[in-house]
Amino acid sequence: MRKQSVMALTILSIIVTVAVKSANAQSSSHFMKVTIPFEFAVRDKTLPSGEYIVRRTSSDKPEMLLISSVNPGSDVYILTKNVRAKTRQSESKLVFRYYGDQYFLSQIWEAEDNLGRELSKSRRERTYEREMAKVRRKHQLVTVTAHQRRPLELK
């Protein structure tokens, strides 16, 4: 009886280990590397130009993303919502709204998908939007192409 219990516990622990590794592999496969050539805002944080990695923090929570600078110190977690395009995207990309002198991250798209992620406008962005409306100007959209990477290429 004891031998069967030990065997059952061993099998259960192997199954749990495989399930956890599988979930981690799935969440790490959703990331992209992008070089952003300008300073930009995410929520109320301004990030410098440079190389960034955008990734899901968990495979079961696609709305939560992490934007990490290749250079330490410029990381930010963001909560997003679904946005749907009419067609599948041909490339991975980040879309920014540009208001005269400030870029705000707006959307994140993965290649071969028509479902993207969209950020809500921050208080600061809404202020820029109101100021532009006073002079009858609208924001412009600026797109930066990203490169999707396999998990092993991150190292």
Q: What's the chain's average pLDDT?
A: 81
Residue 116 lies in a domain: yes
Residue 104 lies in a domain: yes
Q: Which pTM does this prediction carry?
A: 0.74
Residue 147 lies in a domain: yes
Domain range enclosing 95: 30-154
Residue 15 lies in a domain: no
Q: Residue 67: name the closest of 52, 89, 48 by CA.
A: 52
Q: Region 39-58: what's the mean pLDDT?
A: 92
Q: What is the pLDDT of residues 57-108, one digit of tens each?
A: 888 888 899 999 988 777 899 999 999 999 999 999 999 999 988 999 999 9
User: Per the structure, how many domains does the chain have?
Assistant: 1
- State the Cα–Cα distance between residues 29 and 48, nearest whole angstrom: 25
Residue 96's contacts (CB-CB under 8 Å, 6 or more residues apart) are 40, 103, 104, 105, 106, 141, 142, 143, 144
